[in-house]
Each structure stands twice: as structure tokens, then as C-alpha cells.
Amino acid sequence: MSAPQNHPEEPRTIGILGAGRVGTAVGRQALKAGYDVMVATSKPAEDIALMVQIMTPGAVAVTATEAAEADIVVVAVPLHKYRTLDPALLAGKTVIEAMNYWAPVDGEIDDFENDDRTSSEIVQDYLAGSNIVKTLNHIGYHDLEVDGREPGSEGRRALALAGDHQGAKYLVSRFINRIGYDAVDAGPLEAGRSFQPGTEIFNGSHTAEQLRSILSADREPVRL
């Protein structure tokens, strides 16, 4: 993978849309790795400033417009709210989609119940101008902050990523590595099906070698 045109070789700023458990955990881990982190919600920045200061010390509360100016934008809102995102705001941006469809929790949503595509492909269709990369959805927010290891560490945990834009995947792979995990390219966005809820990858912790083995098996045609 190579860096996309008109993008930095190494991402420096991370914008996070959503200040729940996932968004704040990603923010803390990104700060620990040395990134500048901006957090936005649907509320005015001044209304969430104290909460951001407490939950992600060192991050800056901003508007969604300001967060979207970051090198990478992490979308960490409940999936049923994905249509509250502004497609124009994220056009041309590298966007990590860290959401999951949980019908038992969120209730059945027609967008996902009546469409054979993965949830990420449906989100990509809505955010048509952005470069979606699915990842960070298959690690718990608590694990994210304790499982990270230096590159080359024995047994280092790996995270899969999937997307249709090679440059965006390159940037995200750099980010994943810097926050403590090996990044494994699963393929195009539809390959994210291999680490949706209920899958072996979603339910476990794996090294890069193990992840590649599972992803390879998923691509093998079923013998009848």
C-alpha cells in the first residue's frame, strides 16, 4: 500500500465523531501514540469541553466540521445514527468506520435487515464521497487500551481492515500500527463481512498470522 495523493505520508491528526466508550477509548489510545486528537459530537463544542477534558485528557473538543479536517476521521457513533453524519463534510476524507450492527441492542433496522451488503458497504453508499475503512470494530474498547504492544513484540495482536481505497487503507494501517497493533489488509470493503459480529475474528484475539489464516479460509470456496 502507498500513501494517497494529497495526503500526508504519516497521519498526524485524528478527528473522532462520537464521544461514547469506543470514541473516547480510541482518543486516549491515539493521544498515547502522540497524535493530536479532536473530538466532536452533535452538541456544540463548548457543551462537551469538560466531558472531553475528563474522558480524553489532552484531546480538544471541536465541532464536527473541525474534526473532519483531521488526517483520519473515526466514526464511532451508534450505527443507527449513521444518517446523522453529513456526507459533504466527510467527502474526500479517510474515514474509519468502527460501528457494528447489533439488532438485539439497536433493534432491527430496515437499512441492514433488507440488504445483503455489509453494514460498512451501506454506510459507504451513504457517505459516497468518503474513503471508508472498516476496522476497530472487532476489539473491545477496554481491550484496545491494554492489548497494544510495540511493533515486533511477540504475540502482538492484529486488527483487520477492509476498504476499497488503497491510499486510505495505507493511512489507516499506519495509524493502527502506531496505536499498538499489526494491521492486516482483509481486502475490499465487502471483506469486512469476515469480522462483523458473530465471526471468529470478531469473537477473538489474533496475531497477524492467525488473522491471515482465518481470512484466507473465509475466501476459500465451500466444497459441496
Q: If you average pLDDT over residues 10-27, what whole number do you get?
A: 95
Helix axes 45-55, 21-32, angle to 10 degrees: 60
**Each residue of 151-175: pLDDT tens digit?**
999 999 999 999 999 999 999 999 9
**Each residue of 38-66: pLDDT tens digit?**
999 999 999 999 999 999 999 999 999 99
Residue 4 has pLDDT above 60, yes or no: no
Detail the DSSP E strand segments found in the chain. Answer: 13-17, 36-40, 60-61, 72-75, 94-97, 131-134, 158-163, 182-187
**Each residue of 188-216: pLDDT tens digit?**
999 999 999 999 999 999 999 999 999 99
Terminal Cα-to-Cα distance of the chain (whole angstroms): 36
Cross-strand partners of 75: 17, 97
Task: Please give the share of the chain, as a percent, with pLDDT higher than 70.
Answer: 94
Q: Please tell me whether residue 76 adopts helix, strand or coil conformation.
A: coil
Residue 5 has pLDDT above 70, yes or no: no
With beta carbons less than 8 A apart as the criterion, state whether 72 and 11 touch. Answer: yes
What pLDDT shows up at residue 102? 83
Angle at Cα 139 formed by Cα 215 and Cα 11, nearest 5°? 90
The answer to pTM > 0.85 is yes
What pLDDT shows up at residue 41? 96
What pLDDT shows up at residue 9? 74
Residue type, 164: D
Q: If you average pLDDT over residues 132-139, what whole number do you get?
A: 97
Q: If you average pLDDT over residues 75-95, what whole number do you get?
A: 95
Q: What average pLDDT does the chain have? A: 93
**Integer Cα distance of 47 and 62 in angstroms:** 10
